[in-house]
Amino acid sequence: MKSDVYSLELFISKFLRYGVLLAGALMLAGWMSQISFTRDVFLEFQTYHDARLFQVLTDALQDQRWGILITYAGMMILISLPLLRVLMTFAVFLKTRDYKMAGLSALVLLGLAASLLLGFEL
Amino acid sequence: MHELILFAISIGAGFLGALLGLGGGMIIVPVLTLYLHVDIRYAIAASLISIVATSSGAAASFLKDHMTNLRVAVFLEIGTVAGAITGFLIASFIQAKILFLIFGFFLLFSAIMMFRKRGEDLATKDHPWSKALRLASSFPNEKGDRVEYKVEAVPQGLLYMYVAGILSALLGIGSGILKVLAMDGAMRLPIKVSSATSNFMIGVTATASAGAYFIQGSIRPEIAAPVAVGIIAGSWMGARVMMRMKPQLLRYIFVVLLSVVSVQMIMKGLA
C-alpha cells in the first residue's frame, strides 16, 4: 500500500518537472519578446503601486502585448503546479482508503484556495 | 540591460542555492532591493515564484531517494499554509521598512544557523498524534538497510511550521532553515529525512502566498521572469556540479556575505 502511494507520488513529481519546464519556456519566450536593452524597466518598480492582475491582463490584451500575456501564462502554470500536486496527493490517499491523510490533504487544499481568495480581497 | 543583469545574478543565486542547500530568495530579495532599488514588495513576490519553480522541479529527486516522509509533509503543510496566509495578511498592512528590518534579522539568524552542527538525536518514543497518523517510518542507510524512526513533539513541530509559513510569505523565502529546525530539532527526525521532507514541502508553502500575491498583481513579469528562469537554470547547473564540489569554503564565504547584507538590510530599515 505504502509503495503504491510513493510510486504514484513519484509519477506526479515527474509530471510536475515537465510542468516547470513548460512554464519556464513560456516565461523565457514572453520575456525575450519584450526585453528592453535601452531603458531601465525597474525604474517604475521603485515604488509600489496597485495594479490588479485582471486589470493588467485586460490592458495587455487590449494593447496586444503578447509577450506579457505569454509570461503571465507561464507564471499561472507555475503557481498551479503545487496545487495540482496536493490535489493528486488527496486523490491518491482517497484511492488507498487512507481517509485521515485524505482529510489532511483536503485541508491543505482548502488553505491554498483561501489564500487565492485573499489575493482578490486585499 | 538591467533585466539581463538580474537574469545573470539569478543564475548565480540558483547555482549557489543548489550548492548550499538554500533557496535563492535570501540572495535575490537583497539584490533587487539594495542594488536594483526595486520596492521590497515586488522583490518578495518575484522571489516566491522562483521558489515554487525550484521546489516543484526538484520534487521527483527528493522522493526518488526514499528519504521524504510524505505523511509528515502533508501534515506539516497545514501549518505552513496557515502561516503563509497569516504572513500575506501581515505583509498587506506592514510598512516596507519593517520588512527590511525583519529580513535583516532573519539573514543574521540564518548566518548563525549555518554554523550550527546538526547532531543526530533520534526520537525514542512516538507522539500520540504520530501514532494516529502513522507518521513514523524508515529510511535507507549507507549500506542500504532500512532504519526505523519515530516522531516526537508533533504539536511543537506544527507550531514551528506555522512560523516558517509566516516568514516565507512575509520575506519571500523558503524558510528551509526553520523547517529543518522543526523537524530534526523538535520532532527529532533523522537529518536526511528532515532535509528531504523540508525541500519537498517548500513549493506548497510558497504557493500559498505566491498565488495571493499573483492575483493581487504584485508579481510583475518584468521582474519575475528573469528571476524565475535564471534560478531554474542556475539550480539545474548547481545540482549537476554539487557531487564534485566541497562546499565548506563556499559556505564560510556565504556566511560572511550574508552577515554584510543583513547589516545593509537593517540599515535600510532604520533609514
Instruction: State percent of chain A over pLDDT 70.
Output: 95
pLDDT at position B246 is: 61
A103 reaches B (C-beta below 8 A): no
B69 reaches A (C-beta below 8 A): no
pLDDT (tens digit per residue) in A13-23: 778 888 888 99
- CB-nearest to A45 from B77, B223, B228 is B223
pLDDT at position A3 is: 62
Q: Name the residue with higher pLDDT: B65 or B185.
A: B185
pLDDT at position B15 is: 85
User: CB–CB of A82 and B52 under 8 A?
Assistant: yes
pLDDT at position B119 is: 66
| Cα distance between residue A107 and residue A94, in whole Å | 14
Q: Which pLDDT band, with edges at 50, 70 and 90, does A9 fall under?
A: confident
Type of residue found at B223 = I
A97 reaches B (C-beta below 8 A): no
CA atoms within 13 A on the CB side of B113: 17
Interfacial A residues in 13-72 facing B (CB < 8 Å): 13-14, 16-17, 19-21, 23-24, 27-28, 30-31, 35-38, 40-42, 45-48, 50-53, 55-56, 68, 71-72
pLDDT (tens digit per residue) in B191-217: 888 888 888 888 899 999 999 999 988
Q: Name the residue with higher pLDDT: A10 or A113.
A: A113
- B30: which residues sit within 8 A by CB, 6+ positions away? B103, B107, B261, B264, B265
| Cα distance between residue B241 and residue B256, in whole Å | 23
- Residue B57 clears pLDDT 90, i.e. is over it: no
User: CB–CB of B216 and A9 under 8 A?
Assistant: no
Q: Which pLDDT band, with edges at 50, 70 and 90, does A121 fall under?
A: confident
| Cα distance between residue A71 and residue A66, in whole Å | 9
Chain A nearest-CA residue for B209: A115
Which three cell numbers mark B96? Answer: 516596507
User: CB–CB of B228 and A40 under 8 A?
Assistant: no
Global pTM reads 0.89
Lowest-pLDDT choice from B47-61, B135-149, B226-240, B243-257: B243-257
pLDDT (tens digit per residue) in A102-111: 999 999 999 9
- In B191-228, which positions are buried (b, 16+ CB within 10 angstroms) versus exposed (e)? bbbbbbbbbbbbbbbbbbbbbbbbbbbbbbbbbbbbbb
User: CB–CB of A41 and B206 under 8 A?
Assistant: no
- B17: which residues sit within 8 A by CB, 6+ positions away? B23, B24, B27, B54, B231, B234, B235, B238
Picking from A1, A18, A20 by the largest number of B CB atoms within 10 A of its own CB, the best residue to mutate is A20
Which three cell numbers mark A27? Answer: 516565461
Chain centroid to CA B161: how far? Answer: 12
pLDDT (tens digit per residue) in B97-129: 999 999 999 988 888 887 776 666 788 889 999
Mean pLDDT of B37-51: 91
- Residue A114 clears pLDDT 80, i.e. is over it: yes
pLDDT at position B213 is: 93
Lowest-pLDDT choice from A118-122, B82-86, B231-235: A118-122
Exposure of B121 by Cβ count < 10 A (0-12 exposed, 13-18 middle, 19+ buried)? exposed
What's chain B's average pLDDT? 86
Lowest-pLDDT choice from B42-56, B100-114, B196-210, B241-255: B241-255
pLDDT (tens digit per residue) in A60-92: 899 888 999 999 999 999 999 999 989 988 998
Chain A: closest CA distance from residue B252 (Å): 32
B143 reaches A (C-beta below 8 A): no
Residue pair B137/B71 in contact (Cβ under 8 Å)? The answer is: yes
Q: Name the residue with higher pLDDT: B198 or B78.
A: B78
Picking from B5, B220, B235 by the largest number of A CB atoms within 10 A of its own CB, the best residue to mutate is B220
pLDDT at position B145 is: 82
What residues of B are in contact with residue A82 (Cβ under 8 Å)?
52, 55-56, 203-204, 206-207
What residues of B are in contact with residue A46 (Cβ under 8 Å)?
37-39
Which three cell numbers mark B58? Answer: 526538484
Which three cell numbers mark A39? Answer: 531603458
H/E element, B168: helix B154-171
What residues of B are in contact with residue A31 (Cβ under 8 Å)?
3, 221-222, 225-226, 229
| Cα distance between residue B172 and residue B218, in whole Å | 12
- Residue B27 clears pLDDT 90, i.e. is over it: no
User: CB–CB of A53 and B215 under 8 A?
Assistant: yes
User: CB–CB of B39 and A48 under 8 A?
Assistant: yes
Site of grid cell 513541530: B157
- CB-nearest to A71 from B52, B215, B221 is B221
| Cα distance between residue B262 and residue B94, in whole Å | 19
pLDDT at position B140 is: 82
| Cα distance between residue A118 and residue A121, in whole Å | 5
- Residue B13 clears pLDDT 80, i.e. is over it: yes
Chain A: closest CA distance from residue B256 (Å): 28
pLDDT at position B78 is: 96
The values of phi and psi at residue A19, to 5°, are -60, -45
User: CB–CB of B224 and A27 under 8 A?
Assistant: yes
pLDDT at position B224 is: 92
Mean pLDDT of B39-49: 92
Q: Which pLDDT band, with edges at 50, 70 and 90, does A10 fall under?
A: confident
Q: Which pLDDT band, with edges at 50, 70 and 90, does A42 fall under?
A: confident
